[in-house]
Structure 1
Amino acid sequence: MNVGMRVRGGLLAALIMVAVPVAASLAAVVVSSPVAAQTVDSIQVEGNRRVEVATIRSYFKAGPGGRLDQPHIDDGLKALIETGLFQDVRINQAGGRLVVTVVENPVIGRVVFEGNKKVKDEQLTGEVQSKPRGTLSRPVVQSDAQRIAEIYRHSGRYDVTVTPEIIEQPNNRVDLIFTITEGAKTGIQSVNFVGNVAYSSYRLRDIIKTRESNLLSFMGGSDTYDPDRIEADRDLIRRYYLKHGFADVQVVAALTEYDPQRKGFMVTFTIEEGQQYRVASVNFQSSIGSLDGNSLSRFSRVNVGSLYNAEALEKSVEEMQIEASRRGFAFAIVRPRGDRNFEAHTVSIVFTIDEGPRTYIERINIRNNTRTRDYVIRREFDIAEGDAYNRALVDRAERRLKNLDFFKTVKISTEPGSSSDRVILIVDLEEKSTGDFSVSGGYSTTDGPLAEVSISERNFLGRGLFAKASVTYGEYARGISLSFVEPYLLDYRVALGLDTYYREQLPNNYISYGTKTLGISPRLGLALREDLTLQLRYSIYEQDISLPSYLNNCNNNPSNGLLAFNPSPAWVAGNGGPPVATAMGATDISGMGLWCYSDGEASLPVRKELANGSTLTSAIGYTLNYNTLDNNKNPTDGLMIDFKQDFAGVGGDVTYLKTAIDAKYYTPLVSDIVGLVHVQTGLLTQVGNNAIRMLDQFQMGPNLVRGFAPNGIGPRDINPYGTQDALGGTKYWGASLEMQMPFWFLPKEIGLKGAVYADAGGLYDYTGPTSWAATGEVNTPGCVPPTNPSAHPNVPPNPGTCLGLQYDSSSVVRSSVGVGLIWASPFGPLRFDYAVPLTKSPYDRVQQFRFGGGTSF
């Protein structure tokens, strides 16, 4: 009995011990949990200072009957927290009411950046989300710190640390300070390629934008690690292979590793080249009954037997689709298909033309262009709102916008329109600075030291205009120029340019005279095709020539038939002539006359031009340019041809027709060696009765055959007592063979390469003045001037002989061989040449070493 009672008592005690905590817990839940019978109006708000009560209540959405149940209360709590306005939010029940207690986030008074030297405050302010007079949110602050660090990493500083600090101020305000430790610049220590067989690593480093760090890396930023640039390089490598026949190429990886010992990144591109393919056949298939596919064949840039070229394929598709649209098939879609023959390494190209979906452009929305006017962007589109949607034209517009160089990024995407057959084009842009201020410096063996200060703007007033002003000052050359270009004249794709200039060329080692030229030249340029452009121009300029007084003595002598010198009476009498009084204070030296050539004399055409005064030239001309170079700055493949003609005589004082052709062909040879064939020719034709001035004739030197001085070849005044000025010629031709090769033992980033070359050419047929009646100088063919004037500097030739212009008219072919050093330096492209002439005229002037270059800094 007692035992049973004890057992039951123990069980009862145990139950009581278990039940009491459970009951207490349930009671606590009931007390702390809001009941479901609350309404929004009955919510009591506590702790708010800036946020209105009604605003806080608005986040709680009542259910059926206007009541708040537990799920609705939980949703309201989450919504309040997500606003970022509060540090803490709590919900309790007190006195039968729902109490929402909030702790508001403080207001930011200032956002300050400390320790940043490489990135300006303005750039960081534009990137962070925390703003003055905004609400402080600690998650946003941490996100801002990460964003700042990311900006530094994109500029190559991976050791950066960003520490945010919050300093409390009165009235629930704070100052937010980001303390930045920038760290050292983290560069690219090596760029390697794995799997490349067809192209060397040296060649592929030319393709990509990323560069290895070197001693001159401080001049640029391409040696810093940028993941976006690495991804862009992968695409550049892939497109390069696709352009050269490797249809199966894959850049499977771009591995980047940080080396703590070298304190830099190692970048390795892994390439699977595949086979190189040639085009076996090109066919056209059209599913549109009234459109013959073969009629579009002339727009194909893919030829049978040529290497497969994905870039040419893309351009072919674009031009075919645009042509189909012109013919009224606005919805035609051209798709290329390539059928590979893996054994023969060939691919058969089939262009299929199908009717695409009938989709129209509802709107073109342009976003983020804060400076550039909308119409500047819209005029790059060949389609507008309401036109048929044509992907080829959209791609062309995107490419044109990128080529403007107004924007960092350009992306055109589509969104559904108001109906299934409508699309909206979205043009997302990120603008960049388009103004340039440059101070340029250079030196050449021709012009000596030279400096230029220029300011230019590619997007003037946000209207897409180009404007530039520059001032040049050097030892022998000076000038000022103003240029302006309107790329869309009257809303047509025709560029109108206007150049005004003043140039002054001083006498130097190569010419005895100086010139001053003041002119203006309007021009029109238009693209006939992507590789063919035409420029029309008109030029009007006034030119003056100047000479030191001691080079123009003969022209000041009194006229008496023998005015090429100033004879003494004794000299004249001794030669059977009547005595003539000396002029200009001439004195008799040992019975001989003081000849005006004794102190040197400019050539007859120069002196005659000086006597004529300033000359006005008015000319119209054009240039037709064909360019398929793979890179305009550092070409390795392609052809460029310039054909120029200028006709002077549209008013003015001179008339002539000048024609010039210049062609350069680059081709890769073996082991990164590039071959260059350069040919040029020119012809100057007299028009009407006006003789061609010496100043209008072609002047040639190292620009035609290296190893000769400027104005060093061609017809020349051979009077040994004069300055022996170059006279120029009306015909020239030149040919050059050159091989450019890298220095494989040097890092690619240094930018050095060598060249060996052979040049040949000639300048002939001087047709300028050879006599001058005003001075009595009459050309005497066959006259041979003294060969040793230094023995008798004051003894003139026999009267009536060698008084007019005597010049070297030999037609010998000038030739030379030489070596060159080409440096793509941070100071701009520099070139050093040493050439040895093989064949020349006795009167040619040689300059074996030549150097030139310079850039902006």
Structure 2
Amino acid sequence: MQKTRSSAGHVHLAIRAAALSVSLAVTGSAVSAQTYSFGSVSVTGNQRIEDSTILSYTGISRGETVTAAELNDAAQAIRETGLFSAVEVVPQGGTLVIRVVENPTVNIVAFEGNDRISDEQLAAVVQSTPRDVYSTAQAERDTAAITEAYASQGRIGAVVRPTIIRRDNNRVDLVFEIAEGGITEVERISFVGNQTFSDRRLRGVLETKQAGLLRLLVQRDTFSAERLQFDRQVLTDFYNSRGYPDFLITDVDVSLTRERDAYLITFFVQEGQQFRVGNVTASSQVAGADAQEFLAAARLRTGMVYSPSRIENDIARLETLALRKGLNFVRVDPQITRDDRGLILNVNYALVPGERIFVERIDIEGNTTTLDRVIRRQFNTVEGDPFNPREIRESAERIRALGFFASTDVNAREGSSPDQVVIDVDVTEQPTGSLSFGANYNSDNGVSLVASFSEDNFLGRGQGLSFDISVGADTRNVGVSFSEPAFLGRDLRFGLNANYRTTDNASALYDTETGRFSPSLAFPVSQNGRLSVFYAYEYTDITGVAGERTDPPKDRASIVIFEEAEQGGVSTNSLGYSYSYDTRRAGLDPNTGVILRFGQEFGVGDNQFVRTSASAAVETRVFNDDVILRGTVEGGALKYNEGSSRVTDRYFLGSRIFRGFEPNGVGPRDADTGDALGGNYYAVARVEAEFPLGLPEEYGITGGVFLDHGSVWDVGETYGADVLYNDYTPRTVAGVSIFWDTPIGPLRFNFSEPVDVQEQDETNEFDITISTSF
């Protein structure tokens, strides 16, 4: 009996709760049996939202028989709209009464206490906007988003508190009160388990950096979970590309210091053994595909250090060969077998039939400025082509390489049928232009004021446009350039360059004026090779020649300069070409890159000449990638068939080509006046090494040694002047360098010591240049 009374009591309470409010869950078989039918509905408390709209949320129609549980579900459905702060659904006889209290409308969204992140940036993070219905849940999500934005900048101690200020007409101001706190930086990155490569070398691979002296400018020494995930991948790629296929990151420990003001990151790794390539073979299951013919197109060779990138490049070659032979839907499957005893991996390129899947369409979203065609032309695939996943991945990389987008996602999904796929491209644009004013310094020209404008995505067409002007004590320069990377819709780059330069030579008794206008076309001729053809119009003049011919040598310019200046302004027209071969584009060898360049310019008209230039450069890493070795050989030759060269045409070796000399400090010069005259020929060889100095790598400071050897010679027509060093007279300079990778650019400080120079040469024991890899 007691158990029966208890059950009856629970049922009575449940029915009573359903009659007054459906805010409590209703259970029990007796309640489920209770039904209601309504001939009318009364909605109260609503101001902005129509009665019919609220009724539609319930899913109940007039005259419909419903249970108490269904009334409870109807009230919950109204609450889940987020439009109301209170909801009651009450049956009263034949009328269903719905009482609501509407959430207020957001009047404004404001931020207080923020300094490091602007209001505009925070507004882009939050989802609450003016004129929306206020939602407590959304305000909490916005609070979390703001907190995450500060955490991505290393401010994990930031506190965000949403508050509302009530206004008339059921409106509220939503204010996020922010206490930003200090930056929690990455104090140390260390590795456990690495034996082949040093901690310093591995830290150089990562995107995350340790905090250093210039931490306010580096912006990568704050902890970011997304950046750390990227670091895991690049560290794995680093080892895999150097023959360590078994490399594994077993754990990444991220902890805070005791003071909770800095992160300590430790990577636990297992390197495994380095493997080399064993036998390289090919097999074919595709009719018309000769395995040996495809094997001949591969570049992987026995004895090479194993690298997935080498295999990926071979796959691209073989699939391209299949398309050229009219074989569609051919998939190259690299079958790899291990020989653990010999530490080799045997590779068999298996040509197998692929799935017959076609590209239905390519959908592009997120590009508000960039035209669709700029993105679409990064695809070699068009609608209706066979679907090639590798080609789609490469297209995604080309889109990212444009530099127009902060993020790029390229995915494939099933289309209108199983044999069709749709390629979705989702991009987020970022600024692509810059306007700058400032000062520039180099050892050759001193200090100059600089103003420049550049836009890499002009009018959203993917075109480049730049303008710069510099004014120094001795030089003035104005330059304009324009480029169209897909001229006539093809892989053909059109360029247009115009430059005007005047000099007031502090080291010579004459001035110069030079203008050049040159359109060009460039296109690929091989995987690593590119050819450029151009036309050039050039105007040169020699002005301000000091003194008279009869003046003493110390008071006048060289006779050569007088003779060349008397020709007045000279205009030349020329046609030319330039070929470059760059293995860094393919990335086949992660440790070594080679660049070869060769070009010629042919003067036509009254001044017929041939200008030839060539260079070869190589860079490689040794001693487990800790030391970088560089070698460069370059030279030029200017030969006139009609007319003769002038000081404005001939070669002068600046500090970027030959270190250890003042501007115009090496080469032929007038024996009487000392004027540097330049030469029609030059040749220089440079070798150098860059190595760590034991300083924390976050400082970006490394050391180096170098040796330069070369000469510039042959003035051509001397007009009877006594010219020193007119024949090939080699010089040699040795020195040490300090490389400093600063936030404003990579700087190089050279300290030179002449080894073999001539008496009249003007040496320079110290100079500052921009550091380059080659």
Using structure 1 for the length normalisation, give the TM-score: 0.84
SS of the equivalent of 1:420 reads: coil
SS at 1:479's partner residue? strand
State the alpha-carbon separation in 2 of the partners of residues 20 and 684 from structure 1.
110
Q: 1:161 aligns with which of 159, 162, 166?
A: 159
- Bigger Cα displacement from structure 2, 50-59 vs 834-843: 834-843
Q: Could you tell me which residue of structure 1 aligns to residue 736 of structure 2? A: 819
Match for 1:663: what amino acid?
A: A
The offset of 1:498, in angstroms, is 0.9
Q: Deviations over 1:525-579 (max 9, x none)?
A: 223345322222222121121225xx2311xxxxxxxxxx4xxxxxxxxxxxxxx
Deviation at 1:108, TM superposition (A): 0.7
- Work out whether residues 690 and 704 of structure 2, in 8 Å CA contact, stay in contact via their aligned partners in 1: yes
SS of residue paired to 2:321: helix
Structure 2 gaps, min length 5: 21-30
Question: 1:69 matched to which residue of 2?
Answer: 67
Deviations 1:119-173 (Å, cap 9, x if unpaired)? 1222221221111111011011011000011111112211111110011111111
Match of 1:266 in 2: 264
Which of 394, 398, 401 is equivalent to 1:400? Answer: 398
Distance (Å, rounded) in 2 between the aligned partners of 1:342 and 1:213: 41
1:709 aligns with 2:709: no
Distance change >3 Å, CA 333–CA 642, structure 1 → 2: same
Q: Distance in 1 between matches of 2:561 and 2:50?
A: 91
Return the offset for 1:703.
Answer: 4.4
- 2:615 paired residue among 657, 662, 667: 662
Q: Which residue identity lines up with residue 753 of structure 1 in the other structure? A: T
| Residue pair 2:713, 2:726 contacting (<8 A) in 1 also | yes
Give 3-state SS (helix, strand or coil) of 1:393's partner. helix
Which of the residues 531, 536, 539 maps onto 1:539? 536
What is the DSSP-based 3-state SS (H/G/I as helix, E as strand, rest coil) of the residue aligned with 2:57? coil
Contact 1:717 1:808 in 2 (8 A): no
Amino acid at match of 1:116: N
**Partner residue of 2:596 out of 629, 632, 641:** 641
Pairwise mapping of residues 382-531 of structure 1 onto structure 2 (< 5 A)? 382-509=380-507, 511-531=508-528
Other structure's SS at 2:337 match = strand
Task: Summarize the alignment of residues 221-236 of structure 1 with structure 2, pairs less than 5 Å apart.
Answer: 221-236=219-234
User: What is residue 766 of structure 1 aligned with on the other side?
Assistant: 715
Please say if residues 714 and 727 of structure 2, whose CA atoms lie closer than 8 Å, have aligned partners that are also in contact.
Answer: no
Matching residue's letter, 1:545: I
Q: Is the 8 A contact 1:442 1:852 kept in 2?
A: no
Taking a change above 3 Å as real, the CA distance of residues 24 and 846 of structure 1, as seen in their structure-2 partners, is closer
Kept in 2: contact 1:471–1:481 (CA 8 A): yes
Q: Which residue of structure 2 lines up, in the alignment, with residue 575 of structure 1?
A: none
Q: Which has the higher strand share?
A: 2
Contact 1:411 1:427 in 2 (8 A): yes
With 27-36 and 442-451 compared, the bigger mean Cα shift is at: 27-36
Structure 2 CA distance, aligned partners of 1:748 and 1:270?
20
**Which of 682, 686, 693 is equivalent to 1:736?**
686
The 1:75/1:20 distance shift into structure 2, 3 A limit, reads: closer
Q: Following superposition of structure 1 onto structure 2, how do residues 127-206 of structure 1 map, counting pairs within 5 Å? A: 127-206=125-204
Quote the RMSD (CA, aligned, Å): 2.6
Q: Given that residues 381 and 394 in structure 1 are in contact (C-alpha distance below 8 angstroms), is that contact kept between their aligned partners in structure 2?
A: yes
Cα offset, 1:74, TM superposition: 3.7
Q: Give the equivalent residue in structure 2 for 1:774.
A: none
Q: State how far apart, in whole Å, the 2-side matches of 1:313 and 1:28 are.
A: 74
Alignment partner, residue 755 of structure 1: 704
Q: Structure 1 residues 310 and 36 mapped into 2: Cα distance closer, same or farther (>3 Å)?
A: same
Equivalent residues of 1:496, 1:524 under 8 A apart? yes
Tell me the alpha carbon deviations over residues 762-810 of structure 1, each in whole angstroms, 9 at most, x when there is no partner: 223331x222xxxxxxx3xxxxxxxxxxxxxxxxxxxxxxxx4444334
Separation in 2 of the partners of 1:505 and 1:39? Answer: 97
Could you tell me how far apart the structure 2 residues matched to 1:830 and 1:525 are? 31
Aligned to 1:282: 280
Partner of 1:792 in structure 2?
A: none
- Following superposition of structure 1 onto structure 2, how do residues 717-728 of structure 1 map, counting pairs within 5 Å? 717-719=670-672, 722=673, 724-728=674-678
Distance, in Å, in 1 between the alignment partners of 2:699 and 2:413 is 47
Residues 1:675 and 2:663 are matched in the alignment: no
* 2:18/2:68 contact within 8 Å kept: no
Does the 8 Å CA contact 1:31/1:93 hold for their aligned counterparts? Answer: yes
TM-score (norm 2): 0.93
* Secondary structure, aligned partner of 1:318: helix
Give, in whole Å, the separation in 2 of the partners of 1:250 and 1:22.
61
Preserved contact between residue 819 and residue 833 of structure 1 (Cα < 8 Å): yes
Structure-2 residue corresponding to 1:590: none
Distance 1:360 1:401 in 2: 21
Larger radius of gyration: 1
Tell me the equivalent position of 1:782: none
Among residues 190, 209, 212, which one is paired with 2:210 in the alignment?
A: 212
- Contact kept, 8 Å, 1:330 with 1:390, in 2: the verdict is no
Distance 1:390 1:456 in 2: 36
Q: CA deviation at 1:631?
A: 12
Q: CA deviation at 1:19?
A: 9.8
Structure 2 Cα separation of the partners of residues 15 and 211 of structure 1: 70
Q: Is the 8 A contact 1:367 1:429 kept in 2?
A: yes
Counterpart residue type for residue 149 of structure 2: I
Shift of 1:748: 0.3
Q: Is the 8 A contact 2:38 2:96 kept in 1?
A: no
Distance in 1 separating the partners of 2:4 and 2:671: 133
Deviation at 1:325, TM superposition (A): 2.3
Shift in Å, 1:30:
7.7
Structure 1 unmatched runs, 5+ = 1-10, 555-564, 566-595, 772-778, 780-803
Query: What amino acid maps onto 1:668 in structure 2?
Result: R
1:666-723 CA deviation, whole Å, 9 max, x = no partner? Answer: 1222261211122122222232x3223343222235445432333222322112xx2x
Counterpart of 1:732 in 2: which secondary structure?
A: strand
- The amino acid that maps onto 1:204 is L
Q: Could you give the per-residue CA deviations for residues 719-757 of structure 1, whole angstroms, max 9, x where no partner exists?
A: 2xx2x222222332222221111111x110111111112
1:358 aligned to which of 356, 359, 371: 356
Change (3 A) 1:527 1:22: closer
Structure 1 Cα separation of the partners of residues 139 and 10 of structure 2: 44
Given that residues 39 and 62 in structure 1 are in contact (C-alpha distance below 8 angstroms), is that contact kept between their aligned partners in structure 2? no
Contact 1:322 1:393 in 2 (8 A): no
Q: SS of the counterpart of 2:489?
A: coil
Offset from partner CA, 1:622-672 (integer Å, 9 cap, x none):
22222234999xx963112221221122x3x42211111112211222261
Residue by residue, what CA displacement relative to the aligned partner does 1:273-305 show, whole Å, maximum 9, x if unpaired?
Answer: 111111112111111011123323354232221
Is the 1:659–1:683 contact (alpha carbons within 8 Å) kept by the matching residues of 2?
yes
Q: Which residue of 2 aligns with 1:606?
A: 561
Q: Which moved more, 1:365-374 or 1:636-645?
A: 636-645
Q: CA deviation at 1:355?
A: 1.1
**Most deviating of 526-535 and 358-367:** 526-535
Pick closer, same or farther for the CA change 1:742–1:15 going to 2, 3 Å.
Answer: closer
Of 549, 553, 558, which aligns to 2:548?
A: 553
Which amino acid in the other structure matches residue 533 of structure 2?
Answer: L
Residues 655/260 of structure 1: CA separation in 2 closer, same or farther (3 Å cut): farther
